[in-house]
Amino acid sequence: MSDYDYLVYTDGACIGNPGPGGWAAIIRGQDGSERILAGNAVRTTNNRMELTAALEALRALPEGVRVLLRTDSRHLADAIEKGWAERWRAHGWKRNRRERAENSDLWEQLLAELERRTVRIEWVRSHNGDPLNERCDAIARQEAERATGVDAGYELAKAEQQELLLSNEPSRTHHAAIECRAEVGGTVVITDGTNSVRLERWQIPELVYDLTKLLTS
């Protein structure tokens, strides 16, 4: 460890993926000191917890220091060491012409923290007898099991995705509220607030039948 000021182990866990998640980081200094950081979210993903663990660990360290960061997340290690994350950022957070890079909010913050320090990332095999990796994994799992926090980035991304899906549905293009009401004499009025149609009660079953055929054809 003589080439580094800090040795850092990070890990993330998720029950369900997406589901309740937890993250943990163990930070050891040259002087033998040790700090443990941890957190959780009620709804998140495993990759987001892995990224959050690395991000929060680096944020806790001074700028300009040398760090050896060990993780059992191949995705995290490869994306940094092989330059994938930097390429995604250079291309507007796109993996290719069609696919967007997931978790760009965390990747952007993590890259910024990496640039403020000299960091080497090492991948370690999980559950392979490394004491610090085992401890980190246990803490992250405990956090997931008692999760009460909020992953704001995950919630925002899901809300934006849902809004996009709704905006692309033809039936919701105008976001009109359909109202049906009965008038004196038995006439039924169906309106969206702008246009209206009046039907006699005996016409409604025929209309429903025609709409069903249209939607299933």
Enumerate the active-site residues: 11-12, 50, 72, 127, 137
CA distance 3 to 30: 10
